[in-house]
Chains A and B, each alone.
Chain A
């Protein structure tokens, strides 16, 4: 047995600004699922004005905020773009929800004004009417169960050629209400409109993110060694109940 302590670091970007839909729940789920497996976990909150380094970070989380808050964040993050690009290029794990998802792309619309995004993933977002609101079910290859959650977005997100969606919409609207796809999956980046929050009722997605982070930090065999199965009876029951209600 190696004496080395196993530890993952989560960077939660701008928790005080991007927290519209219970987003801290995603970070709580990641932390608990690491701790339940005996893996140490640091959560580092990154606030506006700080200059974050992502070199020792294993999972980055970006939530959604109101337009006003999202703009503050975006202007600031553009200055840190290089850091994020190399993090993603290096296989860094990143989960971005709602507004955070829109920030990943080349641009999005705020009112009628086009705002430059981070261009981490080849996608862009324009606006449509009405807002796409409601429960959503998505079939995705990264989750053994269909993903269930809630969506509420005016934006319509369009993926570039060759960008894989997170999954196919079984119920609800997804990226643009037309393509039948929801979210994006690029390297170890997951972007999605699904909140609720995303991870509690979709433990498969949480464990996929944790698995990618473990592989990157501790090698390919780390998942088999460290990602021990948990009793997810409550999570899976909550997932099943919503799926049965909706489909």
Chain B
């Protein structure tokens, strides 16, 4: 009795693709790679979102400054504000000038000073928000000189100055995230190398037979790299999907906080593209590591 065509075809495919025994999902490789990829994507997403948040804040605040007029006498202070606002509004390079309402300031101070304190008795500096029209050279310094010439007691605080420490923190966290991604890539490579070595050892009998039949090292290595690429694809996909779900959940929670600072940390479209590219890179890395490892091991045999 001859094998029917379908069985032969199935058998041929099995022989070509599954020359090495064992089911793919049965081994630990896909799960290890899934965990690695999950952590890698989360670390990368954290780093990218923080970086993006910092950029958004910086671009939003870099064109703004606050002019403070420190004057104990309320009437003199009010006149100085009027004078300052009038001059700045006609100054080229300034888009808008908005004095901060003293009532608003008093509201903001209320938690510290208490509701019964009359803020009129306190020499609270007057604040004027200034928005620059463009990215001209050193606009803050120019404004500071101008403000001093109008009201000598005036001080200019660029909003971006508040970002200094935060920017340092975000840069550090982004660096840590990048380091984590790099370490994960190295760890993934090491896991693949160990797995490929193990697979090579456990299939030595089959490899010897293939060698003696005239199989080249590249033909044999291709079997391993295909197998590990499939494992990496499975693990990478699983890790990515899980990480994306977690990112979406965390993003949702951040939005719910209502904090502008936290909401600024979001993933732009190119950031998502980077996250999707990570498993692809992981698959390429795993395939390459498997190929190199097996070729090196085969090279030691005759």
Whether A and B are associated in the same complex: the answer reads: no
B residues whose Cβ falls under 8 Å from a Cβ of A:
none
A residues whose Cβ falls under 8 Å from a Cβ of B:
none
